[in-house]
Structure formats: C-alpha cells, structure tokens
Amino acid sequence: MTALQRWRDCLAAWAIPAGIGQAESPWVLPREVFVRRCDRQLERREGASLRLAEEALGAGGSVLDVGAAAGAASVPLRGVTELVAVDGDAELLAELIRRADARTVLGHWPEVAPGCPVVDVVVCGHVVYNVADLEPFVTALNGHARRLVVVETAERHPLTALNPLWRHFHGIERPEGPTADDFADCLRELGIEPRIESWRREPAAEHADFDTLVEVTRRRLCLPPKRLSEVDRALRRLGVDPHRPPDLGSSGDDVVTLSWRPSVIH
C-alpha cells in the first residue's frame, strides 16, 4: 500500500461508527476559535511557519493562503505586497478582510486553484487532515508558488484529543492517525523532500468560556443535550483547564511545519 493510499484509509476511518446516533452534525466548525487564533497570532507572532514564510518573502512578495479561515497563517506576515485567501466559509473570509487588505476566493482547494494567481509564497495552515486526496491538493499548492510552500499542521490528527472521551461515553476506540510524519511520507512519494520543524504553540483559551467547549464537545461526541453535565465532568477529569478552554478537535499545541521550494512533482 502506498503512503497516499494509507493516508486516505486513515482519514476514512474517522467516519462516525454505525449505531452512533447523529441527531445533530458532529462536524462542528467553531468559527470563533479560528478568529481568536488569528488575533492571537497577530499579537504573539509565534512559530516556525511565520518565520519561514517571512524569510522567503524578504523585502516583499505575494502570498496565497489556502484554507485561510480568518487568516492566522497569512494576516500576521510582514512583507506581504498582495494577499489572496481561499476558504470555503464566507463568514471566516469576512473576518479575514476585516484584518487585512486581501482578495478572497470562496471555494475549496484545489477546485478553485485555476482561478488563483501564482504567488511568491503559498501558506496552508491546519487543512491537510481534511484532505483525503492529497496528490491534486499538493500539486496545486506546488504549482502556485514561486519561492516556497509552507504547510502547518498538528502533530497528529486533532480529533485524537477526543479519543478518551469516545472510550468513556461510547466504549469504542477511535483512530490514532494519520500524523504529520504520514503527511511527510506522502510528500516524499510525490517527489518532495520537505524541511520539517516541530514546535509547540503556547497554550491559550480558544473558546470564550468553558460552557462553549462543553457544548461543542457534546456535539462532536454525538451525545444528546441532556448529557451536557456528564461531558462537563469528563472534560474536567481529563485535565482541561476551565479558565483556558482549548478547542479539542481542531488542532493541538504540538505543531509541525513542513516547507519546500516548488518543484516538478513526479
């Protein structure tokens, strides 16, 4: 089995198991989390992804942000002469243009790639675990960069943070991957040898309050509203700080940045 096939199979394993009720969609998109991440990055300017992108921009250059959300991967960058942001969520793109002068493209990569310009630096933050078919996705990233492609992702699939809770509430085991190492293997299979830097983001509150985290987690676990208090207790037993509620399920604090100079993919 190839690395790309293993990647697809690992992601397919995250489907909600048969027999688990889904009165509400468990695939929650907590927009406020992505907005807070952009604002926090504007303030902190942390991590390898920002540093590498700015080094490639030098005195100035254009940037394409794929899966931009509110712009955490691109809005804080210095030296940007032109910014194009792609995302499938219009509300998040609206948040981005409140924070930066940007052209936005509503849609999903790589379907919208033909309408996007070739730029100096392509950035893509916390998207790849949503992409089952990596080859056209990566090929389009590679084909739109003149200087550098920078992909930031959690060290492992972010939903693994919920695995102890699935075990507690449903008595089932959920997948443990894929991981950033698996993504790197896929890149190598495509003829790309990435530069890899692992780093840890400074922990911060991602939800407005603990109650919001409890509600989002309840939905992700496919539990009815009457079990909110149980989810509250389980999160506290798991060691979640009620005063600094993270978003379990969108990314963790252990981060990996993979970057490469654009090349012909074979």
Q: What is the pLDDT of residues 116-166, one digit of tens each?
A: 999 999 999 999 999 999 999 999 999 999 999 999 999 999 999 999 999
Residue 10 has a pLDDT of: 97
Domain covering 3-11+27-157+176-209+251-260, topology: Rossmann fold (3.40.50)
Average pLDDT over the chain, rounded to whole? 95
- Minimal CA–CA distance to 152: which of 225, 74, 214? 74
Average pLDDT over residues 19-28: 82
Residue 266 has a pLDDT of: 42
3-class SS string, 105-133? EECCCCCCHHHCCCEEEEEEECCHHHCCC
Condensed to tens digits (0 to 9), the pLDDT of residues 154-211 reads: 999 999 999 999 999 999 999 999 999 999 999 999 999 999 999 999 888 899 999 9
Domain ranges of the chain: 3-11+27-157+176-209+251-260
Residue 265 has a pLDDT of: 54
Residue 252 has a pLDDT of: 79
Is residue 111's pLDDT more than 60?
Answer: yes
* pTM attached to this predicted model: 0.95
Element (H, E) at 94: helix 90-99
Residues with Cβ within 8 Å of 36's Cβ and at least 6 positions away in sequence, in order, are 204, 205, 206
Condensed to tens digits (0 to 9), the pLDDT of residues 114-124 reads: 999 999 999 99
Between 204 and 102, the more confident residue is: 102
